[in-house]
């Protein structure tokens, strides 16, 4: 396959994504993390079928940066909102605490393992690996709760709380990503000496400034064609500047989105405009992420141990997050397993893994990417089913009775309708005539 055919395939995949989002298919289709497209990319990649070669992936790196940046912009514009409602302060605090607790648990556990094994050549690489795994494992995907509630018609205080928490935790891994990229910033990029905190501030500040500029360019009257021109222009400037300075494009674009949403008076219209673009951008990014997965990294000693430790630490962190959630009135009667319902990771985690693979090629990047994908797959098996059971336990999922206990309707002869409100007459036992 040449690069042109791959590009056409990605465009077709984007169209499929827009078809699913456009309301012409059932909502809730697919998996919350989109890991099925990662699996497809892995099969098509250089380590299985070889249809997508390594040289093609390298030539498509600029496109991948744009895809990841746009995804972060969409997340940033939507940050702090769950549907049409603002995230409540309590949910915001719980979401941030959950991300900090989980990411910190993963990073600490990985560093404890790395201190005992000679897996990476330098101390800096060890911190990068631990920090990258912590950032990739911190969040709960925004689509996890919606995926369950739409399939099982869940409504209530607990489902609302968990949904708001999943919309509040994205900022933590993106700040960590900005820090890790700043630590490894090449001094040759600028002719003067810049301290670490200044590079982190530059990452956040660049996004905030360009978001405010975009909001001013949009003006007081919302015009759709002008909006797309402004968004594309400022996005390309932000992504290009971040890539040139070796800063995190994901972090820059996220803060650009938050600033744009905060400053512009057209926040609701902006969200409605950019939300349908998330899935068309996400599917090609996930496919390219899967194609970049290199299982040869598992041949390195202790890599599989590090990945398993990261996943176990993430489970422990989310369990502790569930204990925090149960302190609230909405979750007081919930099962202690409510923390496991937060294990779904999704597009942002895989995007962080892919960003690490692009910036730190080799054992660090490949390990973070593989761990983010395996964590997402593990979450698919645990989180949705656990969330449904938890919501059933608090009475927020209707019609949850097992199939064996549901009443079997009595067959009715055609032409003899029975009122649904009228109870069926009891059957006459054998041997009792009229």
Two tokens, residue 31: 């998996």
Average pLDDT estimate for 285-291: 89
Is the pTM higher than 0.75? The answer reads yes
* 239 contacts 255 by C-beta, under 8 angstroms: no
What mean pLDDT value characterizes the chain? 82
HEC string of 101-118?
HHHHHHHHHHHHHHCCCC
Q: Mutual orientation of helices 123-136 and 347-359 as an angle, nearest 10°?
A: 160
How many other β-carbons are positioned within 10 Å of the β-carbon of residue 14?
Answer: 19
253/171 Cα distance (integer angstroms) = 12
- For residue 47, what pLDDT is reported? 84
3 state DSSP class of 82: strand
Is pLDDT larger for residue 8 or for residue 157? 157
388/405 Cα distance (integer angstroms) = 18
pLDDT in tens, 337-372: 999 989 988 889 999 999 999 999 989 999 999 999
Domain ranges of the chain: 3-398
CA geometry: angle 168, 170, 176, nearest 5 deg? 130
Average pLDDT estimate for 421-426: 45
Hunting for tokens 């396959």 — which residue is that?
Answer: 1
The per-residue b/e assignment along 212-239, b for 16 or more CB within 10 angstroms, e otherwise, is bbbbeebeeeeeeeebeebbeebbeebb
pLDDT in tens, 74-121: 999 999 888 778 899 999 999 999 999 999 999 999 999 998 887 777
336/238 Cα distance (integer angstroms) = 43
Two tokens, residue 242: 């971040």
pLDDT in tens, 153-190: 778 888 889 989 988 999 999 999 999 998 887 655 56
Average pLDDT estimate for 211-240: 89
74/275 Cα distance (integer angstroms) = 7
Q: Which residues pair with 85 in a beta bridge?
A: 82
142/148 Cα distance (integer angstroms) = 11
Q: Does domain 3-398 have CATH number 1.10.20?
A: no
* 95 contacts 288 by C-beta, under 8 angstroms: no
Hunting for tokens 């700043």 — which residue is that?
Answer: 182
How many other β-carbons are positioned within 10 Å of the β-carbon of residue 167?
Answer: 24
Predicted confidence band of residue 133 (pLDDT cuts 50, 70, 90): very high
In order, the DSSP letters of 258-278 are HHHHHH-TTHHHHHHHHGGGH
> Alpha helices, DSSP H only, in 60-195?
61-78, 89-114, 123-136, 143-152, 157-166, 171-183
Among 176-180, 199-203, 328-332, the range scoring the smallest mean pLDDT is 328-332
Closest by CA to 100, choosing from 168, 159, 160, 32, is 168
Q: Answer yes or no: is pLDDT of 240 > 90.
A: yes
């Amino acid at each position: 396959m040449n690069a042109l055919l791959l590009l056409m395939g990605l465009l077709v995949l984007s169209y499929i994504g827009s078809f699913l989002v456009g309301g012409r298919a059932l909502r809730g289709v697919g998996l919350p993390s989109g890991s099925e497209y990662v699996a497809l990319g892995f099969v098509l990649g250089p380590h299985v079928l070889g249809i997508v070669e390594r040289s093609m992936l390298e030539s498509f790196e600029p496109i991948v940066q744009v895809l990841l940046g746009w995804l972060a912009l969409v997340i940033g514009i939507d940050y702090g909102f769950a549907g049409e409602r603002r995230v409540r302060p309590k949910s915001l605090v719980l979401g941030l605490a959950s991300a900090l607790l989980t990411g910190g648990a993963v990073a600490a556990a990985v560093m404890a393992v790395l201190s005992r094994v000679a897996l990476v050549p330098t101390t800096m690489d060890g911190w990068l690996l631990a920090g990258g795994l912590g950032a990739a494992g911190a969040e709960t995907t925004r689509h996890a709760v919606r995926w369950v509630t739409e399939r099982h018609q869940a409504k209530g205080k607990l489902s609302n709380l968990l949904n708001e928490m999943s919309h509040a935790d994205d900022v933590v891994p993106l700040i960590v990503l900005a820090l890790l990229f700043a630590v490894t910033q090449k001094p040759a990029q600028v002719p003067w000496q810049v301290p670490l905190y200044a590079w982190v501030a530059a990452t956040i500040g660049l996004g905030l400034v360009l978001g405010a500029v975009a909001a001013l360019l949009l003006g007081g009257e919302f015009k759709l064609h002008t909006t797309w021109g402004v968004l594309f222009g400022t996005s390309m400037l932000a992504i290009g500047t971040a890539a040139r300075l070796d800063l995190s494009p994901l972090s820059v674009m996220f803060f650009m989105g938050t600033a744009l949403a905060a400053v512009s008076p057209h926040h609701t219209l902006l969200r409605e405009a950019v939300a349908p673009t998330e899935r068309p951008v996400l599917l090609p990014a996930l496919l390219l992420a899967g194609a970049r997965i290199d299982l040869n990294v598992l041949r390195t000693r202790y890599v599989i141990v590090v990945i398993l430790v990261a996943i176990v630490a993430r489970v422990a962190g989310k369990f502790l997050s569930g204990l925090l959630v149960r302190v609230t009135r909405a979750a007081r009667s919930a099962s202690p397993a409510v923390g496991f319902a937060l294990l779904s990771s999704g597009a942002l985690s895989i995007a962080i893994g892919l960003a690490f693979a692009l910036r730190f090629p080799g054992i660090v990047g490949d390990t973070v990417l593989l761990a983010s994908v395996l964590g997402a797959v593990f979450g698919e098996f645990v989180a949705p089913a656990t969330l449904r059971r938890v919501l059933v336990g608090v009475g927020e999922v209707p019609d949850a009775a097992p199939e064996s206990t549901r009443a079997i309707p009595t067959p009715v002869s055609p032409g003899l309708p029975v009122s649904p409100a009228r109870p069926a007459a009891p059957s006459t036992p054998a041997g009792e005539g009229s």
